[in-house]
Amino acid sequence: MEEQRASPDGNLAAALPLPHAGFWIRSIAAIIDLILLVVPFAVFISFFAAATGISNPFFNHRAGTPLNETLTQSGPTFLFVCLCFFAVGSWLYYALSESSHWHATLGKHFLGIYVADGAGKPIDFWRASLRFCGGRLLALVPVVGGYYFVIDWLCVGLTPSKRAIHDRLSGCLVLREGAQNPFVR
């Protein structure tokens, strides 16, 4: 079941259906975006580990031995800062990209899909931020995030509207480019 947008005169029946992006194309776009996010994250971890002096104790640690003092004291803070960096970087990447003139992240744009509101119109930064917080941010929460991720992708794969939980919470759609999309070049 595809949703429809209203025609310029407001007649919903005369409007063309919105072409929803399906499970596989969204999955491939998500993998591309994850790769693009992991590169700066890895660079950050490398420099931050060197700056805090945690890299040598980490690389010299052997499985089955107790953690040395540096890892015991600095490890939790290091992990927290790294997680915060990834969360903030991801939020900015998704929210700025999906509210840009492309209306898509690089992965989505490359595959010809974009994010829109329920009427097929572009979303602003705050709606894109709400979409991020309702989905990808929840996926970063230990244990709960794994369950959320599976349920979210099952919604995309199994529901007729192909909408994830974070799409529903934010009132967004992920659509395929086509003649009906005047916003994407």
* More reliable by pLDDT, 135 or 181: 135
- Average pLDDT, whole number, for the chain? 84
Residue 154 pLDDT > 70: yes
Q: Does the structure show a pLDDT above 80 at 96? A: yes
Q: Which of 58-72, 103-117, 150-164 has the lowest mean pLDDT?
A: 58-72
Read off the pLDDT of each residue in 158-182 and give the average, rounded to a whole number. 83
Phi, psi of 175 (to 5 degrees): -120, 155
Give residue 32's pLDDT. Answer: 97
How far apart, in whole angstroms, are the C-alpha atoms of residue 115 and residue 99?
8
- Look at the pTM and tell me if it is higher than 0.85: no
The helix, strand and coil proportions of the chain, stated in percent and rounded to the nearest 5, come to 55, 5, 35
Q: What pLDDT band is residue 84 in, cutting at 50, 70 and 90?
A: very high
Higher pLDDT, 143 or 95: 95
**What is the per-residue pLDDT across 10-59, written as a single tens digit (0 to 9) for each?**
444 345 577 889 899 999 999 999 999 999 999 999 899 888 888 777 77
DSSP strand pairing (172-176 vs 113-117): antiparallel
For the cut 60, the answer to whether the pLDDT of residue 3 exceeds it is no
Tokens for 41, please give them.
């994250």
- Partnered with residue 17 across adjacent β-strands are 4
Report pLDDT for 184: 45
**Which of 49-52's residues contact partners 24+ apart within 8 Å by CB, and which partners?**
49/78, 52/78
List, for residues 115-141, the tens digit of each pLDDT value. Answer: 999 888 999 999 999 999 988 888 878
